[in-house]
Amino acid sequence: MSQHMAQHMAQAERKLANGKQRIDFNTDPQRYRHWKLAVDGAVATLTMDVDENAPLFEGYELKLNSYDLGVDIELADALERLRFEQPAVKAIVLRSGKPRVFCAGANIRMLAGASHVHKVNFCKFTNETRNAIEDASEHSGQRMICVVTGSCAGGGYELALAADHIILTDDGSSTVSLPELPLLAVLPGTGGLTRVTDKRKVRRDRADVFCTTEEGIKGKRAVEWRLVDEAVSNTKLDETVAARVREFAARSDRPKDGKGVALVPLDPRIAADSRDYKHVAVEFNRAGRLATVTLRGPDAPPPADAAAMTAQGADFWPLRLARELDDAILDIRLNEPDTAAIVFKSEGDPGAVLAHDDFLDRHKDHWLAREIRLKWKRVLKRVDLTSRSLVTLIEPGSCFAGTLAELIFAADRAYMLIGRHDGDNRKPAAIALGAANFGPYPTANGITRLHSRFLADGGQVEALRQSVGAMLDAKAAENLGLVTAALDDIDWDDEIRVFLEERASFSPDALTGMEANLRFGGPETMESKIFARLTAWQNWIFQRPNAVGEAGALRRYGTGQKPEFDTKRV
Amino acid sequence: MSQHMAQHMAQAERKLANGKQRIDFNTDPQRYRHWKLAVDGAVATLTMDVDENAPLFEGYELKLNSYDLGVDIELADALERLRFEQPAVKAIVLRSGKPRVFCAGANIRMLAGASHVHKVNFCKFTNETRNAIEDASEHSGQRMICVVTGSCAGGGYELALAADHIILTDDGSSTVSLPELPLLAVLPGTGGLTRVTDKRKVRRDRADVFCTTEEGIKGKRAVEWRLVDEAVSNTKLDETVAARVREFAARSDRPKDGKGVALVPLDPRIAADSRDYKHVAVEFNRAGRLATVTLRGPDAPPPADAAAMTAQGADFWPLRLARELDDAILDIRLNEPDTAAIVFKSEGDPGAVLAHDDFLDRHKDHWLAREIRLKWKRVLKRVDLTSRSLVTLIEPGSCFAGTLAELIFAADRAYMLIGRHDGDNRKPAAIALGAANFGPYPTANGITRLHSRFLADGGQVEALRQSVGAMLDAKAAENLGLVTAALDDIDWDDEIRVFLEERASFSPDALTGMEANLRFGGPETMESKIFARLTAWQNWIFQRPNAVGEAGALRRYGTGQKPEFDTKRV
């Protein structure tokens, strides 16, 4: 058991700051410690000004605009608010509030003392935040211009890489760099290598030089190598930024006069073994290492029109549910690492879910409806990338239709009850496909979950369009290949129990690797390359003694002692 | 240094069998211990019949047709010989020589006691062998039919997955399975998960069931789930195999009456710090952790015609050189793990290299010329996937043209001397592009190395066609973006020395991860997904205590003790 003890100790080294017991993903601009958000007409300025005395955990200071998960939670919140609360914002200027540093990247002391599980989930969340920036640019008409003055290193440059346009101050000292490899013996943890080759399309030998050059690259060379878009002298910086803002804003299709929707706090009721949101309930079975996430369907028909939707705002069922599901998933990822499997259930009227989907589809050109569907896309991607076994149980009273049916296809397995449970008088369960299953929610690898499911036969996906709107019982769903198995009441309890016990008995690591592969058959995109190729290599390196051992580079950083490496190439 | 000691000890646990000091990749059918190769007209039968008393290392027995690297070296040799020595063979039947087992997969005791570096390189080689099977099918007209009788588990099923067609005996007991996860807490190490989803296109929830079901799946269900192509009763097995052989052979374009080329032994002269082949010389600088691989150009013009090429056979320069380079790379990978960087040099006449390329291009429809180019493709892919820093040095007297210029583009960096070294009267170095750089040698991710280099501007690759055949000096090569830097004699020694010293000073693991990402920008294929996504996850799991720790599943397998897992999901 020695490895367990060692890991528990590494875990125990870090306590959340201020006596907190869990990481909270809910925040708002009034509470930000690290970011300033200012909106002026079509332009928002997001200023990174990290409070070094407000780390998420005890034991390190966030010097030089370095960041930890707490800083990124605020960034993610600011980006969400810009989408929903600021429909008029068409361009975001990202800059530093510190004079000689843009951002020093992820905090090294934080990394050196973090548990493996925290490091990996921290990187996953920061990756998702960067992807959300690109999603806002591509689909939501909010483009980001990053203004780099001072040193922009590691995760700082990776943040810049998520922007549409990088302006580097040409002052003889401002630089961009990815010094992780020479300095820390790890890789950039937030998509840096992949964005350098696949987004910036830097020539690969130059990328090799760049990623092994601790001091970074500045000025015209950074432009020539495609690492930034332009290098601008201090005197011309303001006018250049203003010009780029005008250009990018001019290409946006966001409304001039949309009324923003305030993202009210979710305020779940948190108990030892449960979380209760308005439309989501989470129950933990500690002994079984299970979290059951129950989604509740809408209790009213969709609003009459777009104005009524806007009036409902953050209480509009699809938006509220998406935010709650997102929060529940993040809570499980970061605060409940012992959870082996997430069981998805639902309660409600499948017809009412489809009616809401139809409403969103009819209003898909309205900025708010578009934002809500894009939010669902991101939340469902978050589910796909959650390293827990996912199983969806479809029973009487459930409402897995349209958007909610995506949780059937996101799951590693889905079981559906044939008929009724003994003593339950409700109608047998039915699922229903909708237009939402055929396009608006692609996975990280760029295809629909139905396509992912039927890679062998694209025709089958087309054929399923015939079933849109039909209430499919268990046998029909099984025959169409939509669920893993349809089970009788006699078998249900035992089958589900055996499956969940078995899942909890397997190696958590092997499950993570298996699921990361089986969930993403078929094509790859830059995004899926980041989550797969790059992340998997980074996770490997995060386990290697050369990085995290007693004499490894992360441990020795800042001690004056050089790291000692096992020189064998693997 | 405790982690170093521990790793050295793990390494030391395993000794090569029979007192051997290095792993030898050269073999021939006379020496096979594990395979029988029989050829009858257009059909070859490859029978796996592993000698349990002939493991590569001491300390385990190869029971139940389980395999280690030694078994796979013979398989790789047999496949190469079928291509070159048997031009008439159009179909290969793969079967087991043991009555109740097809293949039990990689030997578990071997894995449990192997060093991490050996495990990773073992998997890499077996992956390359499986890819070569698919390459022979797709490009060389040799299709493989796999006949499964008995248990076909883990690596055994992964071998079957490489075939075009899998026939499972429907006898109530023959099964296919991937029991790695439930049994050993690791993933299938030879592409299994990716081939299940991307080649066989098994529905992903069924793949989840399959990969967590230790006992495997048999008969009609295996067909329905697309795990095999047909399940055939014992009484109909022979006639079915014969029918499939006829069908596949009928679609082959291999010649009826080609004269095979015997793959003569390479017989390098092996000294402590060098390997000397006919056209390749390897020198090890132990202190600098460098291997310098020098390729020698042809010393004669190409043969007059295809008949003369066939007469030269294995001595034909491009074929001999490809085989020698392949052997040298494998030797460094498996026997020289301390090597940080491979330095490629060349000696000869670039015009003579281009003349050989032209000859192969003109005869590309001749089976032997086609095989030689396909061999180069595979060897260059082996270079790309070698976890060593790769640098190509281009100096006077070198012949990096056409096929050999691919080593400039495969390298992480390439440096070219401007003018002459002081005291050297030879002409300044020149490189030359040829048709070989524009198509026949795609990387694992399916694009040319030039395309990979110029992802930002596909037009630049087209523009480079204008330079085909031109002798490009250092400045011209630099201006065209073909080399990392052109250096004067004054700077050369220092620049190269500093670069190589720096490379040797970095964390070997971080370099492996960085290079695995920067070398493969752009699109992905099933092959690159296997080498990236899947392999990286597997390498991670191979480091995790849940698999390889004292109480991990690999160590505890067969002891009667259950493994103990850290239950946190990462």
**B387, A565: Cβ pair inside 8 Å?**
no
pLDDT of residue A9: 42
Eight-class DSSP state of B133: H
Tokens of B244: 């499939």
Cβ of residue B498 closer than 8 Å to a chain A Cβ:
no
Tokens of B311: 């007469």
Nearest-neighbour CA in chain A from B544: distance (Å): 7
**pLDDT, tens only, B93-123:** 999 999 999 999 999 999 999 999 999 999 9
Nearest-neighbour CA in chain B from A285: distance (Å): 14
Contacts of B136 (CB under 8 A, 6+ apart): B79, B82, B83, B142, B143, B144
**B226, A456: Cβ pair inside 8 Å?**
yes
Q: Which residue has the tokens 């970061």?
A: A334
**A524, B523: Cβ pair inside 8 Å?**
yes
Cβ of residue A488 closer than 8 Å to a chain B Cβ:
no
Tokens of B526: 């099933």
pLDDT of residue A329: 98
Cβ of residue B2 closer than 8 Å to a chain A Cβ:
yes
CB-nearest to A509 from B289, B506, B546 is: B546
pLDDT of residue B387: 97
Contacts of A277 (CB under 8 A, 6+ apart): A266, A268, A324, A327, A328
Positions of E strands within B307-442: 341-347, 389-394, 413-417
Q: How far apart are CA B450 and CA B439, in angstroms?
A: 9
Task: Name the percent of chain B lying above pLDDT 70.
Answer: 98
ipTM of the complex: 0.95
Q: How many residues does chain B have?
A: 570
Which B residues 316-375 touch A at CB under 8 Å? 337-340
Q: How many residues does chain A have?
A: 570
For A50, half-sphere exposure in the C-beta direction (CA atoms, 13 angstrom radius) is: 26
Sorting pLDDT into bands at 50, 70 and 90, what band is B562? Answer: very high
Positions of E strands within B379-462: 389-394, 413-417
Beta-sheet pairing, A290-296 with A280-285: antiparallel
Residue A416: Cβ within 10 Å count:
29
The continuous run of DSSP H or E covering B248 comes out as: helix B234-250
Phi, then psi, of B522 in degrees rounded to 5: 80, -145
Task: Collect all residues of chain A within an 8 Å Cβ-Cβ radius of residue B516.
Answer: 533, 537
CB-nearest to B553 from A204, A338, A507 is: A507
**B185, A520: Cβ pair inside 8 Å?**
no
pLDDT of residue B458: 83
Region of A348 please: left (phi>0), alpha (psi -120 to 50) or beta: left
| 3-state helix, strand and coil shares in percent for chain A, rounded to the nearest 5 | 45, 15, 35
**B513, A187: Cβ pair inside 8 Å?**
yes
Phi, then psi, of A38 in degrees rounded to 5: -125, 135
Asked if pLDDT for residue B13 goes beyond 80, the answer is no
Task: Collect all residues of chain B within an 8 Å Cβ-Cβ radius of residue A193.
Answer: 514, 517-518
Q: Is B73 exposed, middle or buried (0-12, 13-18, 19+ CB in 10 A)?
A: buried
**Can you list the residues of chain A whose pLDDT is less than 70?**
1-13
Q: What is the CA radius of gyration of chain A?
A: 24
CB-nearest to A541 from B193, B338, B513 is: B513
**B540, A194: Cβ pair inside 8 Å?**
no
**A181, B412: Cβ pair inside 8 Å?**
no
Q: Where are the alpha helices (DSSP H) in A227-384?
A: 234-250, 306-312, 317-335, 350-362, 367-384
**pLDDT, tens only, B530-550:** 998 899 999 999 999 999 999
Task: Collect all residues of chain B within an 8 Å Cβ-Cβ radius of residue A111.
Answer: none
pLDDT of residue B4: 42
Mean pLDDT rounded to a whole number for chain B? 96
How many A×B Cβ pairs under 8 Å? 315
Residue A169: Cβ within 10 Å count:
24
Eight-class DSSP state of B177: E
Q: How far apart are CA A322 and CA A377, in angstroms?
A: 9
Cβ of residue A570 closer than 8 Å to a chain B Cβ:
yes
Which A residues 221-240 touch B at CB under 8 Å? 226
CB-nearest to A203 from B120, B453, B553 is: B453
Sorting pLDDT into bands at 50, 70 and 90, what band is B12? Answer: low
Q: Do the beta carbons of residue B39 and residue B278 sit within 8 Å? A: no
Task: Give the dihedral sign, CA B154/A514/B514/B417.
Answer: positive
**A565, B337: Cβ pair inside 8 Å?**
no
Task: Collect all residues of chain A within an 8 Å Cβ-Cβ radius of residue B547.
Answer: 507, 509-510
Q: Do the beta carbons of residue A545 and residue B3 sit within 8 Å? A: yes
Residue B278: Cβ within 10 Å count:
15
pLDDT of residue A8: 42
Cβ of residue A182 closer than 8 Å to a chain B Cβ:
yes
User: Mean pLDDT across the stretch B184-199?
Assistant: 96
Sorting pLDDT into bands at 50, 70 and 90, what band is B251? Answer: very high
Cβ of residue B446 closer than 8 Å to a chain A Cβ:
no
Contacts of A215 (CB under 8 A, 6+ apart): A175, A177, A179
